[in-house]
């Protein structure tokens, strides 16, 4: 099982997006989640730092500036998805990645408070 560090820059980026109301409250994350083609298209016009800002986890041992380095995506490269945060909480809890789980949960609470 992979180990992850919390990507503090992504947490801040996600907070900023939520506070700017750049989010989707109701989506099917299975359909909205970026696939490999969408990730590649995003990387054609953006840096890996931009790409990293959408991922709460940094895979320990993975090479920087590779897609394998980044995990727990929170949006579609335009907006944060509530369903993505729920998926991050669930997946991180399932695999006991506590720092990612707690950060995703806190971001979910911020989104819910902001959208109320």
The domain locations on the chain are 4-115
pTM of the model: 0.95
Average pLDDT over residues 29-39: 97
Residues 6+ apart with CB under 8 A from 19: 110, 114
- Residue 104 CA to chain centroid, in angstroms? 8
Work out the pLDDT band at 2, boundaries 50, 70, 90.
confident
Q: For 61-109, how does the pLDDT look when each residue is reduced to its tens digit (9 = 90+)?
A: 999 999 999 999 999 999 999 999 999 999 999 999 999 999 999 999 9
Query: What CA–CA distance (Å, rounded) separates 43 from 99?
Result: 27
């Amino acid at each position: 099982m992979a180990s992850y560090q919390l990507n503090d820059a992504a947490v801040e980026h996600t907070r900023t997006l939520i506070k700017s109301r750049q989010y989707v409250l109701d989506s099917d994350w299975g359909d909205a989640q970026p696939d490999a083609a969408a990730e590649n298209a995003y990387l054609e016009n953006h840096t890996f730092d931009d790409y990293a800002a959408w991922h709460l986890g940094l895979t320990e041992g993975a090479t920087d500036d590779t897609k394998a380095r980044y995990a727990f995506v929170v949006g579609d490269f335009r907006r944060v998805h509530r369903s993505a945060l729920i998926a991050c909480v669930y997946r991180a809890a399932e695999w006991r990645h506590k720092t990612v789980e707690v950060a995703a949960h806190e971001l979910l609470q911020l989104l819910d408070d902001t959208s109320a």
